[in-house]
């Protein structure tokens, strides 16, 4: 047999530890959650939840918010991503600007929401729907910007030159060449932001006031306030399925950016 430097069996055992750990503390709880949702009435609970007017209303509301957030974040991020990729020549400047957008990503949502709360109150936008959307865009901007930027970077500049040589003006080039080619990046940014904003709790809770009752808040309350674990689990499990589906299609596109 081939001889490798470290003792193979010891290494395999060592590598099994993180696997077992994640299995036990992440995947197992998901199964527990599924079981919890099926405990009282089996699958009929899901039917009940989906068709219950109150729950359905909140779900629809969250969906609309997610769509509004995703669309707004996209429109806000697009010009900046475009500028960074196509209008900044100096590599160093480009990466420094990109870093400037990326650094706030590690500051947690709660802090950023709180900071924004300060500013919004001064502007009189506290506890309004608009304020909440501004907060969402604020949080999700880097998550949309990075994939957009990456996919713009991947567009071969020679194609743009070729398009110009064929007589295309800059908006033509953008619509007919750049956008279609960056579709994978756009798709991943959109998928990511949509997924996150659909289940977002912190921003609506802190900035939304009465407008802030979303799926995230509902699940929070079901667990911590109403102690209705089965329904909470059912909602959470549905969210899980949706996330996994989005991730599946996201990786199918083949584009993932590295954190």
The footprint of other proteins on residues 87-146 (CB under 8 A) is 87, 91, 95, 97-112, 114-119, 121-122, 126-127, 138, 141
Residue nearer to other proteins on the CB measure, 5 or 165: 5
**HEC-encoded secondary structure of the chain:** CCCCCCCHHHHHHHHHHHHHHHHHHHHHHHHHHHHHHHCCCCCHHHHHHHHCHHHHHHHHHHHHHHHHHHHHHHHHHHHHHHHHHHHCCCHHHHHHHHHHHHHHHHCCHHHHHHHHHHHHHHHCCCCCHHHHHHHHHHHHHHHHHHHHHHHHHHCCHHHHHHHHHCCCCHHHHHHHHHHHHCHHHHHHHHHHHHHHHHCCCHHHHHHCHHHHCCHHHHHHHHHHCCCCHHHHHHHHHHHHHHHHHHHHHHHHCCCCCCC
Dist CA 12 CA 144 (whole Å): 38
Site string for other proteins, 43-62 (x = CB under 8 A): --------------------
Segment interacting with other proteins, rule: CB under 8 A, options 50-58, 60-68, 176-184, 238-246: 238-246
Residue nearer to other proteins on the CB measure, 113 or 186: 113
Segment interacting with other proteins, rule: CB under 8 A, options 44-52, 53-61, 66-74, 76-84: 76-84
Total residues interacting with other proteins, rule: CB under 8 A: 87
What angle in degrees, to the nearest 10, is found between the helix axes of 28-38 and 229-252? Answer: 130
C-beta of 247: minimal distance to other proteins in Å? 5
C-beta of 230: minimal distance to other proteins in Å? 10
Segment interacting with other proteins, rule: CB under 8 A, options 48-56, 63-71, 84-92, 146-154: 84-92
State yes or no: residue 236 binds other proteins (CB under 8 A). yes
C-beta of 156: minimal distance to other proteins in Å? 19
Site for other proteins in 15-34 (CB under 8 A): 15, 17-19, 21-22, 25-26, 28-30, 32-33
State yes or no: residue 175 binds other proteins (CB under 8 A). no
C-beta of 97: minimal distance to other proteins in Å? 7
Q: Which of 48, 211, 220, 253 binds other proteins (CB under 8 A)?
A: 220
The b/e string for 57-94 (b: 16+ C-beta within 10 A; e otherwise) is ebbebbeebbebbbebbbebbbebbbebbbeeeeeeeb
Site for other proteins in 192-211 (CB under 8 A): 195-196, 198-199, 201-202, 206, 209
C-beta of 158: minimal distance to other proteins in Å? 20
C-beta of 134: minimal distance to other proteins in Å? 9
């Amino acid at each position: 047999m081939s001889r490798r430097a470290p003792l193979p069996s010891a290494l395999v055992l060592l590598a099994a530890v993180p696997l077992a750990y994640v299995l036990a503390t992440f995947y197992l709880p998901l199964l527990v959650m599924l079981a919890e949702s099926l405990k009282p009435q089996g699958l009929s609970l899901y039917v009940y939840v989906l068709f219950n007017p109150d729950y359905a209303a909140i779900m629809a509301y969250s969906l609309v918010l997610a769509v509004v957030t995703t669309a707004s974040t996209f429109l806000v991020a697009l010009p900046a991503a475009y500028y960074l990729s196509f209008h900044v020549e100096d590599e160093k400047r480009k990466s420094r600007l990109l870093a400037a957008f990326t650094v706030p990503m590690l500051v947690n949502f709660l802090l950023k929401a709180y900071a924004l709360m300060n500013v919004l109150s001064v502007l009189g936008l506290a506890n309004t729907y608009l304020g909440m959307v501004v907060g969402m865009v604020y949080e999700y901007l880097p998550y949309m910007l990075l994939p957009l930027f990456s996919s713009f970077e991947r567009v071969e500049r020679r194609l743009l030159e070729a398009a110009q040589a064929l007589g295309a003006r800059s908006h033509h080039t953008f619509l007919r060449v750049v956008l279609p080619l960056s579709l994978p990046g756009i798709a991943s940014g959109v998928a990511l932001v949509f997924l996150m904003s659909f289940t977002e709790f912190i921003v609506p809770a802190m900035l939304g006031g009465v407008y802030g009752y979303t799926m995230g808040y509902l699940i929070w309350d079901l667990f911590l306030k109403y102690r209705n674990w089965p329904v909470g689990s059912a909602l959470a499990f549905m969210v899980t399925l949706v996330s996994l589906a989005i991730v599946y299609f996201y990786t199918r596109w083949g584009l993932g950016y590295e954190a």
